[in-house]
A and B are shown apart, each in its own frame.
Chain A
């Protein structure tokens, strides 16, 4: 069964450093998403991406975040200058399309630890 994959599974970085989290969505899916979950808190939507551009973004997704689909398979989330409060699990998801009630499929997540 096709699945969303994410790398790395755990990333440790120092405050102020840039990090790139990588995702490979399911191959025929058209919509891609990033979510985060701070330890003990709810899963929060960050951004959705379709047709090589951002479709929707939440208030959390500020100028320090960016997303990119650099090739036909990868989807990345970049955090330019990490802060302690960026420590969280980051989940990538993908879905088939827009017109139907298409479910989102999530990857296993990347645990980001900012020290």
Chain B
């Protein structure tokens, strides 16, 4: 699986959009970008994934650049409960048996 690079920490004001970047310059054509988050030692929580098109669900939006070398997770209206470590993970399609490789992620702190 391709490696990802994320900033170690970010701050965002409550109610504002939080934009979390991720670089994955060695991503392959059959690899998806996944985002998970972990709130204070709870189990990681799936947020969203995408291949090349932008995606949106009830939690977040995922913007993937045209060359697929980077992506941005957007939390449109951040709340204090969104304070967590956010992980960007690249993984092949069909890799059901493969474990996820978690990096250090980005510690997002939502400020009141």
Contact = CB atoms under 8 A, between A and B. Distances in A.
Interface of A: 4, 30-31, 33, 35, 37, 42-48, 50, 55-56, 58, 89, 91, 93, 95, 97-109
Contacts of B104: 42
Contacts, number: 73
List of 6 A-B pairs having minimum Cβ-Cβ separation, nearest first: A45-B99, A98-B96, A106-B43, A55-B97, A43-B102, A103-B46
Interface string B17-56: 0000000000000001010001001111110010100000
Interface in B37-80: 38, 41-46, 49, 51
B111 interface: no
Nearest to A49: B97
B94 interface: yes
Interface string B71-112: 000000000000000010001011111111111100000000
Interface of A is mostly: strand
A42 B107 CA distance: 13
Interface of B is mostly: loop
B100 A104 contact: yes
Interface centre among B49, B97, B99, B102 (most CB of A within 10 A): B99
Contacts of A37: 41
Interface of B: 32, 34, 38, 41-46, 49, 51, 87, 91, 93-104
B19 to A, nearest CB: 22
Contacts of A108: 42-43
A30 B97 CA distance: 10
A55 B101 CA distance: 16
22 contacts: A43-B38, A43-B44, A43-B100, A45-B100, A50-B97, A55-B97, A56-B98, A56-B99, A93-B43, A98-B97, A99-B93, A99-B94, A99-B96, A100-B93, A101-B91, A103-B46, A103-B49, A104-B100, A106-B44, A106-B46, A108-B43, A109-B43
Given A101-B32, A103-B34, A106-B44, A95 B96 contact: yes
Contacts of A4: 43
B14 to A, nearest CB: 26
